Structure 1
Amino acid sequence: MSVTIGVLSIQGDVKENLLSVQTAVEQLGINASVCSVKTPEEISRVDGLIIPGGESTTIGQLSLVNGSLKILKEKIENGMPVLGICAGMIMLSNTADDRVVGKTDQPLLDVLDVKLERNSFGRQRESFEANISMNSIDIPNFNGVFIRAPSVSDVGSDVEVLSKVNEKIVAVKKGNIIGTSFHPELTQDVSLHKYFVNLVSNQSN
């Protein structure tokens, strides 16, 4: 049985994620199609979705305008696996404050019970890479690329912390939902994308 994995293609690192998912699918030998999605109709047809890094306010506003947020929220709440990367994790959360400007009034999906701080590690010029481990999902070694990255300052009781950097939470999981502060699509390592592809495949079988 074939599965369809989409990358939300409103703004951000779309191409890089499409390539990473395609590589992951090929390495796993799974029958899956990978596509970019934008409209509610396209989103309704996917079995799993990646919300890429980019500008979370822009992604949220444009998703609200074209009606994608509603279908996205419904599908995630009904169990569709989703991977939110950087801005994508902000989109999944129920609250997001900016380290500099404080509370932000931006559209959020409100499906991940975390308190999130935008630009937690500083602005663009303070981007960095760090070796992280996500042992609970069998990824002991991963090179995390952090660009204007958020961090999670608090998690709900049903949210699992996957990884920390400098005592700041940078990866979380809640059932079918994964959120990362870092950009896995900007490395050659597709182990996190493979984990996600497996999640989608297992959910659909």
Structure 2
Amino acid sequence: MKLPSRPISITLTCIAMYLFILLPLPASAAQSELARQREMTAFGPLQTVVDQMQPGWNLGNSLDTVGPDETYWGNPRVTPELIGNIAAQGFKNIRIPVTWDQHIGAAPDYRIDPAYMARVQEVIKWALDANLYVVLDLHHDSYLWISQLETDHDQVLARYTAVWTQIANQFKDAPLRLMFENVNEPRFNRGITQAGDMGAGSNFDEPRQLALLHELNT
């Protein structure tokens, strides 16, 4: 059998490549496209949003105190002037860490103190009015009670769900520049102390900790 000449071979190769391009994407390529779509947000590509948020400033030691109010660790009350000054200095986003623990009522409702929720909303409104991106979280709750998810699973999960449900309802009409960090520095330690130190009974089983975090994320 006579082999095709070089021009015919090149033509047949080009046709084969063209037909290959028309074939459906393999599973791996489809998964990559799905991942790309998941990186899209209401603002556009996720990296674009991140770029627009730079630089950022953290409102620490205020609403995240573990005492009765935001002055417990020595800071003055947050004011609209403070927030406006942050924006005037060129910051684009402000992270507002909040510790909810001491403002959460008893089971089964775990109702957040309305006065405290209103105060958090007030500070967030000042930040949004200053055209800042805002990140709101559950902060020291991470070690005060969320850390006990493994040993007191149902109660912790019920409290966590109730708190986020209330926050979501409170801010459901807020601009998309308000974002949420579901838990600060997640860690699940049996022997953690009230000061946040890990005791002798701490759980350093990383796969188990990741599984617990996945449950919270879900």
**Structure 1 length as normaliser, TM-score?**
0.30
- Normalized per residue, which structure has more helix? 2
Question: Highest Rg: 1 or 2?
Answer: 2
**Structure 2 length as normaliser, TM-score?**
0.29
